[in-house]
């Protein structure tokens, strides 16, 4: 069965904006939560995980660009990695760099 989010995350109403991504369990600092964005040529595509993350000036996660041997230079992808321990029920946030806020 297809699951757009990792088992540790869920989508629900956010106090920041509309819907957001929240921890369904405690998550340790340095955890890779999955791919948020993919760049093909000049187009940036959000994954389901990337589509519901809200902006914060004090984020608890960061986007990390992934590199693979033999990967074409016009293709990139970014993963979401926790900057700190995140408690169950806490919203997952990110400082937007691809979009204006």
With respect to residue 72, please indicate whether it lies within any of the assigned structural domains.
yes
| pLDDT value at residue 63 | 93
Count of domains forming the chain: 1
pLDDT of residue 58: 96
Question: Is residue 62 assigned to a domain?
Answer: yes
In a domain, 63, yes or no: yes
In a domain, 4, yes or no: no
User: What CATH number is associated with residue 45?
Assistant: 2.170.270.10
Domain presence at residue 35? yes
Tell me, yes or no, whether 70 lies in a domain.
yes
What range defines the domain where residue 51 resides? 9-94
Sign of CA pseudo-dihedral 4, 81, 30, 72: positive
Whether residue 31 is contained in a domain is answered as yes
DSSP notation for 25-85: S-B-TT-EEEEEEEEETTEEEE-HHHHSPEE-SS-SEEEEEE--TT--TTEEEEEEEESS-
Predicted confidence pLDDT, tens digits, the chain (101 residues): 777 899 999 999 999 999 999 999 999 999 999 999 888 878 888 998 999 999 999 999 999 988 666 656 557 889 999 999 999 999 999 998 766 55
Does residue 2 sit within a domain? no
This prediction's pTM: 0.85
Q: Which residues are CB-contacts of 68 (< 8 A; sequence separation ≥ 6)?
A: none
């Amino acid at each position: 069965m297809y699951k757009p989010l990792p088992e540790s995350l869920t989508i629900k109403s956010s106090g920041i904006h509309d819907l957001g991504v929240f921890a369904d369990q405690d998550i340790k600092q340095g955890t890779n939560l999955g791919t948020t964005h993919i760049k093909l040529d000049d187009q940036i595509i959000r994954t389901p995980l990337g589509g519901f993350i809200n902006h914060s000036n004090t984020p608890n996660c960061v986007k990390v660009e992934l590199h693979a041997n033999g990967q074409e230079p016009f293709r990139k992808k970014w993963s979401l990695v926790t900057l700190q321990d995140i408690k169950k029920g806490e919203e997952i946030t990110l400082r937007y760099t691809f979009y204006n806020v």
